[in-house]
Amino acid sequence: MAAKILVVDDDPNVQRLLQYTLKQEGYDVVVASDGAEGFRLWGAEEPDLILLDVMLPKLDGYQVATKIRTEEGSASHVPIIMLTAEREVEQKVRGLRAGADDYLIKPFHPAELLARIKSLLARFAPKDALLARPPLGRVLAFYGAKGGVGTTTIAINAAIALHRELGRKVCLVDGNLQFGDHRVFLDLGLDRKSIVDVVTAPSIDVDLVRQVVVKHDSGIDLLLAPPSPETAELVRPDHLPFIADQLRTLYDYTIIDIDKRLDDVNLGVFEAAETIFVVMTADLSCLKNVRLILETIEHLGYPAGKVELVLNRSNAFTGISVKNAEGALKRTIEHQVVNEYRGAISALNSGAPFMFTKADSSLGGSLLQFARSVDKPQPAAVTAATR
């Protein structure tokens, strides 16, 4: 269900701008033109968040915020973002004392407004909603059925979507140890620390991992692949599962992007992961590989629910429909990501993932839908089988 946002502002131009921006993001919007109406609608509509202008007729923003905080008591808390043209610290402090959780100075960029809204909605989510969400510490593996199907692109952008759009704490691990691409796709230099700094330390613990992970501008943390192919040999098969155990204590999600080899390193990641997302495209060679992968995973004794298929470029014409692909594999394809090749390639070449810079694109919307499906609670039996 979409979050409901109450906009309290007496300027019709600001009302129209905020309505357009918020509805584009999928929010329900209720509008009030004065403070008294805003206070009434707070009680009648029960919004999930309030955008509250300071200078209002009848009741100003400070009075509205104070009345809401007095009425709601300690049982509930609706986040309030105060909108003000005043840059003086005193005005900001007054708003915070009245009960505002955040403030924005007009004029502001829509992207900043949306980021603050998402942050507050995640922070003040109802307890029952939090209980319905997955527990801390899920480890997910992203595995490509063959090269070039977009596994790394999906892993990177799914990580960013989980963090920026759904408020989850995420660490992305580049498990393509010899030829990892995360440095390139995220515009990071060879001077950044990598998994080599973890595995060559005298002992591996949570504090060491904290020191080695790299913070990306999107807000996710990264554990990068070795800076050169020869140093990849320093990573033993038992290292990644052990590191994943450390990361699960720090993050809601640890996403491990691995290459297509079925070697001891990747099989160790399979063992550690709660879910293996096999990324594929609808072509014959890829379908052949997916069938072999599914057979291998079945022989390893994993439950069927541990593997989920992700059809990338699902709307691209290949001569093989989704229905035909499912018939050939004799199973359902759980997820589909649309084809927007030009946008994806442009994002890769610029080192700016599309979920970070163009989340409102059709590709971004498709990835967000995928992230939301990932963020649903998993059956207890599947989770228990992988612990």
Q: Which pLDDT tens digit goes with each residue over 189-203? A: 888 999 999 999 998
* CA torsion through residues 165, 171, 175, 178, sign: positive
CA-based nearest residue to 245, from 139, 326, 116: 139
- Which residue did the predictor score with more confidence, 222 or 126? 222
Q: Give the range among 78-82, 180-184, 378-382 with minimum mean pLDDT.
A: 378-382
Within 8 A by CB and 6+ apart from 374, the residues are 140, 158, 162, 275
pLDDT of residue 269: 95
113 and 192 together in one domain: no
| 119 and 191 part of one domain | no
Question: 224: domain CATH number?
Answer: 3.40.50.300
Q: What is the pLDDT of residue 135?
A: 54
What spatial distance separates the first Cα and last Cα of the chain, rounded to whole Å?
Answer: 31
Residue that has been written with the tokens 């995928």 in this structure: 370
The mean pLDDT value of the chain amounts to: 87
Of 99, 130, 161, the last residue of a domain is 130
Q: Which residues of 178-217 are buried (b: 16+ CB within 10 A; e: fewer)?
A: eebbbbebbeeeeebebbbbbbeeeebeeebbeebbbebe
Domain that holds residue 85: 4-130
Among the three residues 108, 130, 152, which one is the final residue of a domain in this structure?
130
Residue of 6, 373, 386, 367 whose CA lies nearest to 159: 367
pLDDT tens-digit readout, 341-352? 677 777 766 777
Give the domain-ending residue among 103, 130, 157.
130
Is the backbone peptide bond immediately before 107 cis, with ω within 30 degrees of 0? yes
pLDDT digits (tens, 9 = 90+) for 39-58: 999 999 999 999 999 999 99
* Same-domain pairing of 167 and 211: yes
18 lies in the same domain as 156:
no
Q: In total, how many domains does the chain have?
A: 2
pTM, full prediction = 0.65
Quick one: pLDDT at residue 33? Answer: 95
Specify whether the CB–CB gap between 151 and 175 falls below 8 A: no
Checking if the pLDDT of 136 tops 60, the result is: yes
Tokens in use for 354? 């599309």
Mean pLDDT to the nearest integer, 303-328: 88
In this structure, the answer to whether residues 110 and 41 fall within a common structural domain is yes
Cα–Cα distance between 319 and 250 in angstroms, integer? 44
Question: In this structure, are 239 and 275 located in the same domain?
Answer: yes
Q: Are residues 95 and 166 in the same domain?
A: no
| Statement: residue 66 has pLDDT above 60 | yes
Instruction: Place 380 in a pLDDT band, splitting at 50, 70 and 90.
Output: very low
Mean pLDDT of 163-181: 92
- pLDDT, tens digit (0-9, with 9 covering 90-100), for 4-46: 999 999 999 999 999 999 988 889 999 999 999 999 999 999 9
Q: Are residues 50 and 165 in the same domain?
A: no
